[in-house]
Amino acid sequence: MASSFIVSYQEMAQIDKETQIKTKTSGLILMENAGLKAWLLLKRKIPRLFFNPLIFFIGPGNNGGDGLVMARQAIVENHPLVHIVLYKESKTTANQVNLTIIKKLRHQPLYFPAEQAKIIERTTPSSTIVDALLGIGIRKKSDKPTTKIINFINKIKNKNDAVKIVSLDVPSGMSYEANLKTIVKADFTITFGMLKDVLFYPYYNPLVGKMYVLNPGFPSFILNKYQKNVLLNPRERLLKQELKKDDFKNSRGSIVILGGSKNYLGAPVLAGLASFKTGAGLVSLITRKKDYPIQAKKNNSLIVCPIKDFQHDFLKYDCLLIGPGLSKKEDQEINFFKEKLMAQAGKLPPLVFDADGIHFFKLWQGTMKKKRNHLGEETRENSSENSSENSVVLTPHIGEMAALAGTSKMKIKQNPYYWGELLSEKFQSYIVLKTHVTFIFTPFKKTATLYHPNPSLGVGGSGDVLGGIIASLLGYYQKSHRLKNKLPQQKEQNDIVFEILKLAVSIHSLSGNLANRKLISFSAEELIRFIPLAIKALNENKWK
C-alpha cells in the first residue's frame, strides 16, 4: 500500500479542498488522475478484464466521475464489452463533463432500475463490476434508490461468486454505523489519497477485499498534516530488539505477572515464557496460595510466589503484567495485592492489564480516583511527579473494550477509533485493541493500525503471549533507562512506549505468520517458539 496513514472521511474531504485551493488544481484534474490511475491498476490486477463484460455502476457525484473516466478510457482502448449503468442525474460539474464525453463517444448508458433485465443479460460469470456509486459520500438512510442498486449489485455477486467487484474509494454504502446489508461487497477496493478509517473497522472490513491506494495529485505538504493514525508497516521505522554484548539476567528486565486461577493456570505461564523468548532476564509469577503448589511444581523457568509472601516493593521490578488467567473474582488475596499497588501509586514501573486484569484495572482506577479526590489537588500533583515512569497499557479484546466503554460490542466494531481515542484519553492509558485488525491508541492522540489478518492467531492463549511480549519489551527499555540512571522526559517516554507497542504487535503478528507457514494451525505454546525468529526477521528487515 502506498499510503502509510489513515484518515476519516472528513479529513479526506479537507485534504481535497486544501489541494484545490492551495495548488490551484481543479477537481476535474484530480478526477482525471484518479480515474486513469485506477484504470491502469485494474488492467494489471485483473488479466481477464479485456475479454469479458466490464460494467460500471455510476453515481451522481465525484465518485461516479472517477468511474466515468475509467469507462471512457476503456472505450477509447476499444474494450468490446463496456456497459455504463446510471441511476441518478449527475450532480457535479466534473461528473457531467465526463458523462458528456462518454455520450460524444457514441456510447449509450443503461438506466437503473428501468433496464435491469438488460444489465443482467449482459452480465456473465467472468464480468468485472466497478462500483462508482458513492465512495466516501455520506448517504442518507432513507435513500431508497441507492439501497436498491446496491442490493442489485450484491445479488449479482451472490448468484455467481466468480464476478469481480471493484469499489472506488470505499465500497458504496460503507459509512459510520451503516447496515451490512446495504453495503457493496467488494473483491478489491481502490482508495484515493489516503486510506479511510472505516476500511479497517472490524464490522465492515470483511467487505473491503484487497486494498490499493492511489494518489491522484494530493501534495505531500498537505498529506503530512494528517499523520496521527499510522498504518503500521513492520518494514519501516521499528525499534530493534537486540541484546547488548554485556547483558545478563539483571540487565534484561525483571517482569512480574499476577495471574492464574483454577481453570486458567496455564495463561500466566504462556505470558511468562513469551516474555523470556522476547528477551526478559527474570520473570516472577505471583498467584493465589491455593494455586501455588501446582504452579511451583510445573514451572522451572518462572520464579513462583504466593501473593501474600511476595515482596511488594514494585520499584525493584521493571514491568508488572496483571491479568492472564486471573478471573474476575475478588477475594482477600487480590484485594491485598490491590492495596499494595495503590500504596505505591506514582512510583510504579510500567503496568500492563490484560484479560481479567482489565476488570482489575477498572476497580483499581476507581479506587485510585476516590483516593485522589480525598487527598486533594496538591497531593495528586505530588503523587504524579514520577508519572513518566509509570505507563499503563490495556490489551482488551472487543468484549473487554465494550465493558470498559459501557457500550455494546457492535458499537466498538462499528467505530473502534472513536472509542479507542475516547477511552485512552479518559484513562490516560495506552490501549491495544485485539481484533483481526490490531489498533494501538495513545493518550496523546496518536494511533497505529496493524492490518495483517491471520485467523490462525485466533487460538486460546494468543492474547497471553502478546501480553508477555509487551511486558518484556517495556521491562527491557525500562531497565535500560534505569541503568543509565536517566529517566526520559514525559514526551520522550510517550514516544518510546508507542514505539514499543508497535514493535510488540508486529512481533506477535509475524510470529503467527511464521507459525502458520510452518504448522498451518498451532497452539499458543507452539506460537511462542516463533518469537525469536520473528524478532530476528524484523531486525533484519525481512518481514513477510
pLDDT, tens only, 410-424: 999 999 999 999 999
The torsion region of residue 114 among left (phi > 0), alpha (psi -120 to 50) and beta comes to alpha
What length is written for the chain?
544
Query: Phi first, then psi: what are they for 321, rounded to 5°?
Result: -110, 115
pLDDT tops 70 at residue 381:
no
pLDDT of residue 543: 76
Flag whether pLDDT at 138 surpasses 80: no
Res 371 pLDDT > 70: no
Confidence bin at 360 (pLDDT 50/70/90): confident
**186-200, 203-217, 258-272, 470-484: least confidently modelled range:** 470-484
| CA atoms of 354 and 486, how far apart (whole Å) | 29
Q: Give the whole-angstrom CA distance, residue 282 versus residue 295.
A: 16
Half-sphere exposure (Cβ direction) of 457: Cα atoms closer than 13 Å: 23
Residue 509 has, within 13 A of its CA and on its CB side, a CA count of: 24
CB 449 within 8 A of CB 201: no
Residue 356 or residue 141, greater confidence: 356
The more confident residue out of 197 and 495 is 197
- Of the listed ranges 327-336, 353-362, 378-387, 414-423, the least confidently predicted one is 378-387
Q: What is the pLDDT of residue 365?
A: 80
Which has the closest alpha carbon to 165: 152, 175, 176, 179? 152
Q: Which three cell numbers stand for residue 358?
A: 482489565
- Determine the average pLDDT of the residues in 183-202: 96
| 324 contacts 464 by C-beta, under 8 angstroms | yes
Question: Does 331 or 201 have the greater pLDDT score?
Answer: 201
**How would residue 495 be classed by pLDDT, with cut points 50, 70 and 90?**
confident
CB distance 279 to 313 below 8 Å: no
Confidence of residue 343 (pLDDT cuts 50, 70, 90): confident
Average pLDDT for residues 229-253, to the nearest whole number?
85
Residue 358: name the closest of 426, 414, 431, 420 by CA: 431
CA dihedral 41, 47, 49, 50 (to 10 degrees): 110
Cβ count near 35 (within 10 Å): 25
Residue 118: is its pLDDT beyond 60?
yes
Q: Is the pTM of this model over 0.85?
A: yes
The per-residue pLDDT for 373 is 64
Predicted local confidence at residue 338, as pLDDT = 87
- What b/e string do you get for 411-446 counting C-beta neighbours within 10 Å, with b at 16 or more? bbbbbbbbbbbebbeebebbbbbbbebbbbbbbeeb
Is the pLDDT at 384 greater than 80, yes or no? no
Residue 487: pLDDT band by 50, 70, 90 thresholds? low
**How far is Cα 168 from Cα 179, in angstroms, rounded to an integer?**
19
- Cell numbers describing residue 314: 514494585
Of the candidates 44, 46, 90, the residue with the CA atom closest to the CA atom of residue 67: 90
DSSP assignment of 481-497: HHHTT-PPPHHHHHHHH
Higher pLDDT, 242 or 209: 209
Percent of the chain with pLDDT over 90: 74
373 Cβ partners below 8 Å, 6+ apart?
none
**pLDDT value of position 489:** 72
Name the amino acid, one letter, at 530.
Answer: F
Q: For all residues of the chain together, what is the average pLDDT?
A: 90
263 in Cβ contact with 458 (< 8 Å): no
Please check the confidence at residue 378 and state whether its pLDDT lies above 50. Answer: no
The Cα 129–Cα 152 span in angstroms is 12
Quick one: DSSP state of residue 355?
T
Asked if the model's pLDDT at residue 177 lies above 50, the reply is yes
**Alpha carbon of residue 365 to chain centroid:** 26
Instruction: Give CA–CA dist 236/394, Å, rounded.
Output: 25
User: What is the C-alpha to C-alpha distance for residues 84 and 67, in angstroms, rounded to an integer?
Assistant: 9
Does pLDDT of 466 surpass 80?
Answer: yes
pLDDT in tens, 264-284: 999 999 999 999 999 999 999
pLDDT of residue 137: 67
Better-scored residue on pLDDT, 15 or 345: 15
Question: What integer pLDDT is reported at residue 1 of this predicted model?
Answer: 44
- List pLDDT tens digits, range 305-342: 999 999 889 989 999 999 999 988 888 999 899 889 98
Q: Is the pLDDT of residue 484 over 80?
A: no
Q: Per mean pLDDT, which range of 223-237, 409-423, 502-516 is the poorest? A: 223-237
- Confidence at residue 140, expressed as pLDDT on a 0 to 100 scale: 54
Q: Which ranges of 129-265 would DSSP assign to H, the alpha helix?
A: 144-159, 220-223
Alpha carbon distance 22, 13 (integer Å): 14
pLDDT band for 359, please (50, 70, 90 cuts).
Answer: confident
Q: Is the pLDDT of residue 383 over 70?
A: no
Answer whether the bond into residue 113 is a cis peptide, omega within 30°.
yes
Q: What is the mean pLDDT of residues 120-140?
A: 87
8 Å CB contact between 430 and 501 = yes
Number of H helices and number of E strands within the chain? 19, 19
User: In the prediction, which pLDDT does 386 show?
Assistant: 35
Asked if pLDDT for residue 385 goes beyond 60, the answer is: no
Cell of 442: 495513545
386-405: average pLDDT:
84
